[in-house]
C-alpha cells in the first residue's frame, strides 16, 4: 500500500494534500477487513503462523530467512507498511528515515533494543513485541541447566560418550535446599522463582525496581548481598543500555566458591573473559550461557567465544525462548497486534506509543491522531470537529512522555477540510483515517 503518497482520502474519496512523511504523516488507512493494500515484510524465520494470520487478513506478506544490514533493510522497506523482525535486525533512525510507508514494527521476541524506539515514535510508527510468549520456555531451560550443572551432567555425558565410566558422586548435588539468586525479577525472573521453589530451592532476588516477592523468595538490598551466599546466580535483567557489563570480574569474584553462573538475558551484561578465568581457577563450578556479546547473524555461521571448551559450561545459541510453543505463540500474538493496529489504530501494549484501545461502533469513522503532548491539543481537535459539524461518537486519549495519541470515532462523513485542518495543527505528528 502506498500510504501517504496520494494524501488521505475522505469517505467520498477526495484526496487531501499530505504533509511530508518525515514531519507529519497523514495516512488513509485501509477499511476494516479490507487490508489487501498492506504489505508486510517478515525477516529472521518468523513462525509461519504469523504469515498465515496476516495473509488471512488480506495483507500481502514477503519473507526473508535472515537479518538484513542497514542498507539492505532500508532498500527493502521502500514500499512496506509492516515490518516483522526478531532480535538480529537493527532498525535504526537511518532505516526509518527511508521507510516512508512504515506503519508498525513487530518484534517477534521480547527485547526491543534492536529498534530505535524513539525514532519510530516520532514518525508515528508503532512498535509491538511479545512480552510474555516465551517466558515459560526460558524458565524451563534455566531450570534444566541449573539441575544439569549442579549434577555435572555435561561432564558425565561427555566422559561416557568418550568411553569412560565415571560413576563418582563427587561434585554432584541435588538442587533441593540450595540457594538460587535471581538478578532481575521481571516476567522471567519471577516465574523462575516460583518453579525453583517448587523444586525445594531457596530463592533470593535482586531487582532495581520494587517487586513483589513471590512465595518465600527473599528480596536482597544489593547485588553484592545476593552474590555472597547463593549457590546459583541467574541473570534475567532487561537490555537497557545501563546494564552493559554489570557482571564483570568484581561480581564473579564476589560469588560464593563453587557457585554456578547462568545468563539467559543479554550477552552484553557479562564479561566472558572474566567468567572464563573464574571457571578455569575452579572458583566457579559451572556456567550456562545462552546469550553472547556478538552473536552470528545466520544459521551455520562460525561462533567464537572465550567460553568454548570449558568444563561444566553449557553454551546454547540464544535458544532460551526458542521452543515451538513459544514461537507459535509469539507469531500469533505479534501478528495480532500488527493486524489490530492496521484495522483499528489500537496500540495496547505498544512499547513506544501511548497505549490506547477503543471499541469502534459500527458505521463510524475513526481518526487516529498522534500529536506532541502539550496542553490544549484535545480542545483544538474537538474545536475543528465541532466547527465542521462532525459529531464525536467515541473518543479516548492517552499520553506517554512527549506524545499523545487520540482515537476519535465520528458519526458523519468527515470532509477533506476537516482532515486538512487536523493535519495542519502544529502539534500533529500523524493522522490516520480508518473507515
Ligand atoms: N535467551 C533468550 O532466548 C531470551 C528469551 C526471552 C527473553 N530474554 C531476555 O531475558 C531478559 C528478561 O526478560 P523479562 O521478560 O523477564 O524482562 P522484564 O522486563 O520483565 O524483567 C527485567 C527485570 O530486570 C530488572 N532489572 C533491570 N536492570 C537490572 C539490574 N541492573 N539489576 C537488577 N535488576 C534489573 C527490571 O527492573 C525488571 O524487573 C531480557 O533481557 C530478555 O531480552 C532472553
Per-residue pLDDT at 26: 60
Measured CA to CA, the distance from residue 24 to residue 18 in angstroms comes to 8
Segment 237-242 shows an average pLDDT of 94
Strands (E), 279-389: 284-289, 313-315, 365-372
* Non-local CB neighbours of 208 within 8 Å, separated by 6+ positions: none
Which of 151, 171, 164, 184 minimizes the C-alpha distance to 288? 151
Residue closest by Cα to atom 33 of ligand 1: 207
> Which has more pLDDT, 414 or 142?
142
Residues with CB under 6 A from ligand 1: 110-111, 131, 134-135, 138, 183-189, 206-209, 211, 236-239, 243, 246, 264-266, 290-291, 318, 320-321
State the pLDDT at residue 415: 85
pLDDT at 27 (0 to 100): 59
Over residues 378-387, mean pLDDT = 96
Looking at 6-10, 174-178, 179-183, 308-312, which range is the least confident one? 6-10
| pLDDT at position 97 | 96
Whole-number percent of the chain with pLDDT over 90 = 85
Q: Distance from the CA of 111 to the center of ligand 1, in angstroms?
A: 9
Q: Considering only CA atoms, which of 79, 115, 361, 379 is closest in space to residue 369?
A: 379
Between 394 and 411, name the one with better pLDDT.
394
| Active site residue ranges | 266, 295, 318
Output the average pLDDT for the chain. 91
Least confident window among 19-23, 130-134, 419-423: 19-23
- State in Å: Cα 110 to ligand 1 middle: 9
User: Can you give the three-state secondary structure of 251-298, one letter per residue?
Assistant: HHHHCCCCEEEEECCCHHHECHHHHHHHHHCCCEEEEEECCCCCCCCC
Split at pLDDT 50, 70, 90, the class of 413 is: confident
Q: Which of 212, 237, 323 gets mutated to test ligand 1 (max ligand atoms within 8 A of its CB)? A: 237
- Residue with CA nearest ligand 1 atom 39: 186
What is the CA(78)–ligand 1 centre distance, in A? 33
User: In this predicted structure, what is the pLDDT of residue 36?
Assistant: 58
pLDDT above 70 as % of the chain: 91
SS (H, E, C) 153-173: HHHHHHHHHCCCCCCCCCCCC
pLDDT tens, residue by residue, 334-372: 999 999 999 999 999 999 999 999 998 888 999 999 999
| Of 84-88, 214-218, 230-234, minimum mean pLDDT range | 84-88
For residue 183, the CA-to-ligand 1 centroid distance in Å is 9
Q: Whose CA is nearest to atom 3 of ligand 1?
A: 320
How much is the pTM?
A: 0.78
Model confidence at 1: pLDDT above 50: no
**Gap from CA of 184 to ligand 1 centroid (Å):** 6
Q: Whose CA is nearest to atom 31 of ligand 1?
A: 243
Instruction: Give the pLDDT mean for 102-107.
Output: 97
Amino acid at each position: 500500500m502506498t500510504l501517504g503518497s496520494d494524501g488521505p482520502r475522505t469517505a467520498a474519496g477526495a484526496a487531501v494534500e499530505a504533509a511530508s512523511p518525515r514531519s507529519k504523516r497523514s495516512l488513509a488507512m485501509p477499511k476494516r477487513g479490507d487490508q489487501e493494500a498492506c504489505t508486510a515484510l517478515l525477516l529472521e524465520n518468523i513462525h509461519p503462523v504469523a504469515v498465515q494470520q496476516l495473509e488471512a487478513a488480506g495483507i500481502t506478506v514477503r519473507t526473508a530467512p535472515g537479518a538484513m544490514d542497514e542498507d539492505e533493510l532500508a532498500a527493502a522497506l521502500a514500499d512496506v507498511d509492516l515490518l516483522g523482525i526478531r532480535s538480529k535486525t537493527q532498525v535504526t533512525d537511518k532505516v526509518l528515515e527511508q521507510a516512508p510507508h512504515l506503519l508498525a514494527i513487530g518484534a517477534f521476541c521480547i527485547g526491543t533494543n534492536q529498534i530505535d524506539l524513539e525514532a519510530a515514535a516520532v514518525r508515528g510508527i508503532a512498535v509491538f513485541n511479545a512480552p510474555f510468549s516465551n517466558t515459560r520456555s526460558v524458565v524451563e531451560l534455566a531450570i534444566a541447566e541449573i539441575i544439569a550443572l549442579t549434577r555435572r551432567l555435561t561432564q558425565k555425558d561427555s566422559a561416557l560418550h568418550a568411553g569412560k565410566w565415571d560413576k563418582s558422586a563427587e561434585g554432584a548435588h541435588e538442587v533441593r535446599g540450595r540457594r538460587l539468586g535471581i538478578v532481575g525479577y521481571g516476567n522471567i525472573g519471577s516465574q523462575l522463582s516460583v518453579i525453583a521453589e517448587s523444586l525445594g530451592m531457596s530463592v533470593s532476588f535482586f531487582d532495581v525496581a520494587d517487586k513483589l516477592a513471590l512465595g518465600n523468595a527473599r528480596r536482597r538490598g544489593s547485588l553484592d548481598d545476593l552474590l555472597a551466599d547463593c549457590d546459583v546466580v541467574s541473570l534475567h535483567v532487561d537490555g537497557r543500555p545501563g546494564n552493559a557489563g554489570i557482571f564483570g570480574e568484581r561480581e564473579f569474584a564476589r560469588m560464593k566458591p563453587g557457585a554456578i553462573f547462568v545468563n539467559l538475558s543479554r550477552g552484553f551484561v557479562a564479561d566472558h573473559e572474566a567468567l572464563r578465568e573464574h571457571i578455569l581457577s575452579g572458583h566457579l563450578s559451572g556456567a550456562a550461557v545462552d546469550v553472547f556479546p556478538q552473536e552470528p547473524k545466520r544459521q551455520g555461521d562460525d561462533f567464537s567465544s572465550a567460553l568454548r571448551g570449558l568444563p561444566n559450561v553449557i553454551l546454547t545459541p540464544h535458544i532460551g525462548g526458542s521452543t515451538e510453543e513459544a514461537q507459535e505463540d509469539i507469531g500469533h500474538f505479534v501478528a495480532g497486534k500488527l493486524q489490530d493496529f492496521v484495522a483499528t489504530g489500537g496500540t495496547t501494549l505498544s512499547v513506544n506509543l501511548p497505549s490506547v484501545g477503543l471499541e469502534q461502533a459500527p458505521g463510524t469513522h475513526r481518526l487516529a491522531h498522534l500529536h506532541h503532548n502539550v496542553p490544549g491539543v484535545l480542545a483544538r481537535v474537538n474545536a475543528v470537529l465541532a466547527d465542521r459539524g462532525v459529531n464525536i461518537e467515541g473518543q479516548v486519549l492517552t499520553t506517554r512522555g512527549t506524545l499523545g495519541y487520540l482515537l476519535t470515532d465520528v458519526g458523519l462523513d468527515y470532509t477533506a477540510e476537516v482532515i486538512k485542518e487536523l493535519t495542519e495543527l502544529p502539534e500533529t505528528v500523524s493522522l490516520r483515517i480508518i473507515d
